Amino acid sequence: MIVQQLENQSPFTTKDGSTIRSILDRANAPVEKHSLAEATMAPGQATERHHHKICEEFYFLLEGTALMEVDGETREVGPGDAILIPAGSRHQITARSKLRFLCSCSPFYDHADVYFD
């Protein structure tokens, strides 16, 4: 059994500009098919609009509000909202307040699968 504590994970910045702490991924567990991370953003901060050719993502908002754009459709999102980002979909999230959310990727997050417009 693999159990990881969030507070023991070191944060890093992804290619799109968000700060994440991997909860479970191939760097800290024998993961083969997905990853789970916590992302945090400051008010006004936005990721760079991008897409993944292979990875499908779920965002699950824990704290704060944001504008979420997926393939040209924009919505305000907040705590309890789950967002599907299909592989190939161009997306960007902009924090309206201090933001904290979970990001699940399948297959696992990989810098090599981040493409900018």
Domain positions in the chain? 13-113
Backbone angles phi, psi at 113, to 5 degrees: -105, 25
For 19-40, how does the pLDDT look when each residue is reduced to its tens digit (9 = 90+)? 899 998 888 888 888 999 999 9
**Distance separating alpha carbons of residues 105 and 60, to the nearest angstrom:** 12
pLDDT at 54 over 80: yes
State in words which class domain 13-113 has.
Answer: mainly beta
Q: For residue 7, what pLDDT is reported?
A: 85
Q: What is the mean pLDDT of residues 49-66?
A: 97
Q: Are strands 73-77 and 66-70 parallel, antiparallel or unpaired?
A: antiparallel
**Distance separating alpha carbons of residues 1 and 8, to the nearest angstrom:** 17
Buried/exposed 11-45: b ≥16 CB within 10 Å, e otherwise: eeebbbebebbbbbbbeeeebeebbbbbbbbeeeb
Question: 77 falls in which pLDDT band (50, 70, 90)?
Answer: very high
